[in-house]
């Protein structure tokens, strides 16, 4: 497969368009003093996003029925949440989550 100049330009353009919105806010925010209240509020954003992702995977939703718990994800999330409470270390949380999910899928 041959890459034309047009294809290369599209790939590079998509990369720049993807990269800019992620970098520009960090460059702009460096020069602004943000109030402590806003910083405290923003510190909860990662927790909210991760909670939303977790709940989305734990519940199986079917139209016209109450949500059901996805047992595979439930079994893997129990030791992961326990590791989060005990260690408060993101690396250990990820490792325990991956190992838990692997074990659940292997034995189930």
Q: How far is CA 67 from CA 37, 58, 64, 75, 76, in A?
A: 36, 9, 9, 17, 19
Q: Judge contact between 102 and 94, C-beta under 8 A.
A: no
What are the sequence ranges of the domains in the chain?
Answer: 1-32, 33-107
User: How far out from the chain centre does Cα 54 lie?
Assistant: 9
Q: Judge contact between 68 and 58, C-beta under 8 A.
A: no
Q: How many helices (H) and strands (E) does the chain have?
A: 5, 2
pLDDT of residue 80: 92
pLDDT of residue 16: 94
pLDDT of residue 1: 67
Per-10-residue mean pLDDT of the chain, 108 residues long, equals 89 94 86 88 85 88 91 93 91 94 93
Q: For the whole model, what pTM was predicted?
A: 0.59
pLDDT of residue 33: 87
């Amino acid at each position: 497969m041959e890459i034309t100049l047009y294809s290369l330009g599209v790939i590079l353009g998509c990369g720049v368009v993807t990269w800019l919105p992620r970098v520009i806010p960090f460059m702009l925010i460096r020069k602004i003093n943000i109030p402590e209240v806003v910083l405290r509020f923003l510190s909860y954003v990662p927790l909210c996003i991760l909670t939303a992702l977790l709940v989305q995977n734990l519940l199986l939703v079917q139209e016209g029925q109450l949500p059901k718990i996805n047992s595979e994800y439930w079994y893997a999330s129990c030791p992961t949440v326990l590791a989060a409470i005990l260690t408060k270390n993101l690396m250990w949380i990820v490792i325990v989550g991956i190992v838990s999910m692997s074990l659940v899928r292997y034995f189930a």
